[in-house]
Amino acid sequence: MVYYSDKNITVRDMTESDPKAFVEAERAQGWDSDVSTFEKRLKERDEDRVICLAADWCGEPAGYVNVYPTYEHGAFAGRMPMIVDFAVLIKFRRRGIGEKLMDAAEKIAGRYGDEVGLGVGLHSGYGSAQRMYVKRGYVPDGSGVWYRNSVLGEYEDCCNDDDLVLYLSKKLGGEK
């Protein structure tokens, strides 16, 4: 299914050929990428547990995001739809691809609830996403920082890696 299309950007369902293309592109830009993560998502998609979206820029894979109607982890476990693993390849940023992916993801999430959640990493590699989420109206849930799927207690040590996240949510406006 195609969720959005213009002369440059297409947002569509992820296909079986996308994981390899994304892994190669992510590794080329220095990210630690593994095809098993994508394969897991596609398996969950086949089980009707997640909607996996991909975005193309002029026919070239450029970004992706996943929407879970029900998610079992994190601050919003079982309470609301979740947007998980949002990414736009570095060379395609600042072209509106992330906005179109998020528009589609929020519209899908709106079919399952009036609020959507997500977790965002805290190191500088997530800076662009952090700024975009705030601009889109996402606010922290108040549970504090999470590390490796648990609330990080006051004064506890942690590592500023991909497992250190802040959960945010957004009220959706009548998208059902």
Q: Where are the domains of the chain?
A: 2-171
Interatomic CA distance for residues 57 and 74, integer angstroms: 32
Give the pLDDT of residue 32: 87
CA 158 to chain centre: 23
Question: Residue 88 and residue 11: Cα distance in Å, rounded?
Answer: 12
> Residues 44-103: pLDDT tens digits?
999 999 999 999 999 999 999 999 999 999 999 999 999 999 999 999 999 999 999 999
**For position 176, what pLDDT does the model report?**
43
- 118 C-beta neighbours (distance < 10 Å), count: 28
Cα–Cα nearest to 128, from 63, 41, 58: 63
- The predicted pLDDT at position 174 comes to 53
Predicted local confidence at residue 4, as pLDDT: 98
Average pLDDT, the chain: 94
* Widest distance between CA atoms in the chain: 50
- Position 12 scores a pLDDT of 98
Q: Indicate the pTM of the whole model.
A: 0.92
Q: What is the pLDDT of residue 76?
A: 93
As to burial, measured by CB atoms within 10 angstroms (0-12 exposed, 13-18 middle, 19+ buried), residue 51 is buried
Which CATH number fits the domain 2-171, given the four candidates 3.40.630.30, 3.40.50.1110, 3.20.20.70, 3.30.360.30? 3.40.630.30
Residues 116 and 65: beta-carbon distance below 8 Å: no
